[in-house]
Amino acid sequence: MSRHTAEITRQRFNAGFVGGLDVANADAQVASTASTIPVLETSARQSIYALSVLLARPPAELLNDLAPSGSLPMTPPEVPAGLPSDLLRRRPDIRQAEAQLHAATAQIGVAVADLFPKFSLTGSLNWQADKLSGLNNSAARVWSLGPSVNWPIFQGGSLEANVRVQEALRDQAYLAYRKTVLVALQDVENAFVAYAKEWQHRKSLNDAVIANRKAVELSTQLYREGQTDFLNVLQAQRALYLSETAFVESDSSLGQNLIALYKALGGGWAEQ
């Protein structure tokens, strides 16, 4: 578009309708727009290299697949309402915290079990020897027949203290689990609002692009007919360029916000 406008300006200059300032401004607009292209191409090429290395491939292996330009994949305009909170249980951090809470709770049962006596109904085999060398002798073997009981109740309260320690560890695991769930809910809410608001932002930018394109067409037509100066054409083209750039960036942000929502939910969702 800038090149087309510059060509119109040069034709009007050759016809004596405008001065050299308009030609210079038109050429500057073309050069300024063209200067942004190498920067964008460099960023796109480096992103392809990064994706290739991420997939354990040589940097240039994906060039043929990703270098051709194309439109961004469309994202759903809205997230289904009433998504079940059970989706959060797919998150690895919640599953880890839940497993740690189960393990800490089980340890309380183990500690409480140590308080009860342990019975033996079939007897036991013990070793008695005055010297280490005597352990291999058959005489050192002592059989204890009949039922026996082991009840470690005289240990200075260490067993009761161990129960309290395990209960404290259970409480700590519960607080960690609760915090993990709350952070997960915050992630989901943040992703929801970012995704919804970005859709509104994109719609407004689309309206701005349509209006700016119309302004460029009208200003170019009026300039060709000599009814306005070139400054209005430049302003319309710059406004269109900025709105189109913002629109493309919004498309990219929309995709990133959708990925953040998938991540917050531990995956996508199935339509019912």
On whether residue 167 sits in a domain, the answer given is: yes
Residue-wise pLDDT for 158-209, tens only, equals: 888 888 999 999 999 999 999 999 999 899 899 989 998 999 999 999 999 9
146 and 161 in a single domain? The answer is no
Give percent of the chain above pLDDT 90: 32
On whether residue 62 sits in a domain, the answer given is: no
On whether residue 242 sits in a domain, the answer given is: yes
103 and 123 in a single domain? The answer is no
On whether residue 129 sits in a domain, the answer given is: yes
111 and 224 in a single domain? The answer is yes
Bigger pLDDT: 75 or 42?
Answer: 42
pLDDT value of position 239? 92
* pLDDT (mean) for 87-103: 90
On whether residue 42 sits in a domain, the answer given is: no
Tokens of 179: 């915090």
203 and 125 in a single domain? The answer is no
123 pLDDT more than 60: no
208 and 99 in a single domain? The answer is yes
Number of folded domains that form the chain: 2
* pLDDT (mean) for 52-78: 81
66 pLDDT more than 60: yes
pLDDT value of position 148? 59
Q: At 188, which CATH number? A: 1.20.1600.10
How far is C-alpha 76 from the chain's CA centre? 18
pLDDT value of position 135? 43
Tokens of 94: 């919640």
Mean pLDDT of the chain: 80
145 and 188 in a single domain? The answer is no
At which of 104, 132, 150 does a domain end? Answer: 150
268 pLDDT more than 80: no
On whether residue 55 sits in a domain, the answer given is: no
129 pLDDT more than 60: no
At which of 150, 171, 196 does a domain end? Answer: 150
pLDDT bracket for residue 65 (50, 70, 90): confident
245 and 132 in a single domain? The answer is no
Range of the domain at 132: 117-150
240 and 126 in a single domain? The answer is no
89 and 223 in a single domain? The answer is yes
95 and 206 in a single domain? The answer is yes
124 and 224 in a single domain? The answer is no
Bigger pLDDT: 120 or 29?
Answer: 29
* pLDDT (mean) for 28-48: 85
